[in-house]
Amino acid sequence: MEQLVRFSVSMEEGLLHQFDHLIEQKGYTNRSEAVRDIVRDTLVEESVKTPGGIVYGALVFVYDHHKRELEKSLSNLQHDYYENIISTSHVHVDHDHCMEVVLLHGKAVILKAIAEKLLSFKGVKHGKLTLTMALKGHHHGK
């Protein structure tokens, strides 16, 4: 476990009040844990913007399975990028719709391209790509 370092933060009273309301709603028991999560989230968001950075992704989408050729297109695309695809889960949502969750690994720029192509297919109704990575500790003077 890495050592915790204390630091103080100054902010406007109104802003702090809003922050306390927000973190209470989210279920945080103290400000420190909330601030740590916000910092981590910002660092991950920035890191995954590096096009060549190696990241993990989860692409979730819902599609109309009656659309002609769509399942074939989805399958062909996933075979084209088999090296970046860890797994695909399929859920039969209702009589007309399916949901898939595709877990991805590789360069951020490639994962984004896969998501853009797939989500643009006719019949894919909604979808989202989430990128993440494990933040490595960074120490100065050690």
Interface with Ni ion by CB under 5 A: which residues? Answer: 92, 98
The residue among 77 and 98 lying less far from Ni ion, judged by its C-beta, is 98
Tell me which amino acid residue 130 is: T
The residue among 22 and 93 lying less far from Ni ion, judged by its C-beta, is 93
Give min distance, CB of 65 to Ni ion, in A.
Answer: 5
Structure tokens at 60: 């979730």
The residue whose Cβ lies closest to Ni ion is 98
Give min distance, CB of 114 to Ni ion, in A.
Answer: 20
Q: Measured between alpha carbons, how far is 65 from 109 in angstroms, rounded to an integer?
A: 28
The residue among 63 and 131 lying less far from Ni ion, judged by its C-beta, is 63
Give min distance, CB of 62 to Ni ion, in A.
Answer: 10
Q: At residue 50, what are phi and psi to the nearest 5 degrees?
A: -70, 115
Q: At residue 139, what are phi and psi to the nearest 5 degrees?
A: -115, 135
Residue indicated by tokens 């204390």 = 6
